[in-house]
Structure 1
Amino acid sequence: MTNFLFHGLALCLVFLLGSLACSEGYEEARTTASKVPPNNSFKILILGDSLTEGYGILEKEAYPNLLEGKLNQELTPQTETTYQVINGGITGATSSGGVSRIDWFLQAQPDFLILALGGNDGLRGVPVSETKENLSKILATAAKHQIPALLAGMKIPPNYGLTYTSEFAQMYQDLAEHHHIPRIPFLLEGVGGDPKFNLPDRIHPNPAGHKIIAETVYQSLARQLKTIP
């Protein structure tokens, strides 16, 4: 698995996913061209935040790495394709950050996009319309480059009221329908809120939680990959 993230030594700020995060621009600048994967595999970019990066656990324990292994073990014999997952997760990332980074990540020439952003927006109370517009821009950019996509939905606690929480959850369904793409209803299904599957901060999944996430993503992703020539 390719991880586009180098951890800088710059002063970090506390983000609302309970993490220490360096600025997205700094992280992006620290990444080198040597991290771009070779052109001998089907490349899947997961554009996400700390949940995707694997905050608080080893890189090999994060769901993108587990997903890559599962794809090559279970799907490769059926499709005769080798899969490479690009971990585009950055702690503290927001939808606006995703808009600013998508063109840069596309230099890796991914064949498929999994969009897993929006959680930090929801925890900060960013207007749903703004988050929706940003995610839509990312999906439109992928479509412009003829890159099929899968949208990973998120849910948030009712800190900003039930109306906001409901509109936030509905946003992912609306985006999937508008862009005619499949959707994972909830990336953290079976993991979110369960202390057995989360770190002590009760926010970020532990290795056991990432195994469940990898399975959740695999079930949706495999169906799509089987339809790609």
Structure 2
Amino acid sequence: MTNSLPSEFSISIILIGLVLGQSCSSEKDDHVKTSLNVKKENEPTCRILILGDSITEGYGVSQHQAFPALLERKLNHEFPSSPHATYKVINAGISGSTTSGGVSRIEWLLKSNPDYLIIALGGNDGLRGVPVIETKNNLEKIILAAKEKDIPLLLAGMKIPPNYGDNYTRKFSHLFKDLAKEQEVDLLPFLLEGVGGDPSMNLPDRIHPNPAGHQKISNTVFEALVQHLPSKIQ
């Protein structure tokens, strides 16, 4: 194993954590919906919507410590002279969310008129053994929904342990890269790069990122945005 991919045991622990809170996801979904504000025409704020699961939600840490909030602060700090007056990162993460859940939420979320979309879903699909083609089709639906509104996006890749055999794991590992190429969208190869499997980057449960882990994820996503979307972000 390389340092970019945690041990099989550690990945299993991480992915198990992504499904915590699934029983109350509908309630949290309503909360996300009611907390969104629609962007007004010619509003100078640049809005970045992150569609994800418990990692995005910030399970186990304060909202201001979760990577979406850290990313928002970093963007505003690094680009103070940007044409955009401010950057606003919308946290649309829900514990236990799958790509199917993302499909059910995306149309409503896009009504807030975000300028950019980051898709950070798929880990829970892999944990549950959802057919790879189903996960791919769901992600494609989310991508097409954004494209229909001319919203550029970044697809964040996920990695899973070989719980369902080498064939499934191999297909899953190629899913994000293949889809990004087919749909001509930008790809962040692994959202948890440098975080997954590192005890110093995770809570005592060895499942969810701690504040240091969220800081690392924030930096990873920031670097991807700057690399892939410089003219649109800066």
Normalising by structure 1, report the TM-score. 0.88
Find the aligned partners of 2:226 and 2:79 in 1 and give their Cα distance. Answer: 7
Post-superposition Cα deviations, 1:43-95, rounded to whole Å, max 9, x if no partner, equal 00000000000001100000000000000000232445421000010000000
Say if 1:221 and 1:81 are closer, same or farther in 2 by CA, change over 3 A: farther
Find the aligned partners of 1:32 and 1:105 in 2 and give their Cα distance. Answer: 7
CA positional deviation for 1:175: 0.9
| 2:152 equivalent to 1:148 | yes
- Letter of the structure 2 residue corresponding to residue 142 of structure 1: A
- Does structure 2 retain, via aligned residues, the 8 Å contact 1:16–1:124? no
CA positional deviation for 1:161: 1.4
Match of 1:21 in 2: 22
Match of 2:76 in 1: 72
- SS of residue in 1 equivalent to 2:192: coil
| 2:138 equivalent to 1:131 | no
Say if 1:215 and 1:32 are closer, same or farther in 2 by CA, change over 3 A: closer
- Letter of the structure 1 residue corresponding to residue 81 of structure 2: P
Find the aligned partners of 2:104 and 2:84 in 1 and give their Cα distance. Answer: 35
Find the aligned partners of 1:34 and 1:193 in 2 and give their Cα distance. Answer: 33
- Does structure 2 retain, via aligned residues, the 8 Å contact 1:191–1:209? yes
- Does structure 1 retain, via aligned residues, the 8 Å contact 2:32–2:92? no
CA positional deviation for 1:34: 5.1
RMSD over aligned CA atoms reads 1.8
Find the aligned partners of 2:88 and 2:51 in 1 and give their Cα distance. Answer: 14
2:88 is aligned, of 74, 84, 89, to 84
1:112-191 equivalences under 5 Å are 112-191=116-195
Say if 1:38 and 1:143 are closer, same or farther in 2 by CA, change over 3 A: closer
| 2:109 equivalent to 1:105 | yes
Post-superposition Cα deviations, 1:81-132, rounded to whole Å, max 9, x if no partner, equal 4210000100000000000000111121101000000000001111111000
Find the aligned partners of 2:184 and 2:33 in 1 and give their Cα distance. Answer: 34
Find the aligned partners of 2:227 and 2:38 in 1 and give their Cα distance. Answer: 24
- Letter of the structure 1 residue corresponding to residue 225 of structure 2: L
Find the aligned partners of 1:117 and 1:104 in 2 and give their Cα distance. Answer: 17
Q: Which moved more, 1:28-37 or 1:96-105?
A: 28-37
Gaps of 5+ in 1: 1-14
- Letter of the structure 1 residue corresponding to residue 152 of structure 2: P
Q: Percent identity?
A: 53
- Letter of the structure 2 residue corresponding to residue 167 of structure 1: K
Paired residues in the alignment total 215
Find the aligned partners of 2:69 and 2:153 in 1 and give their Cα distance. Answer: 19
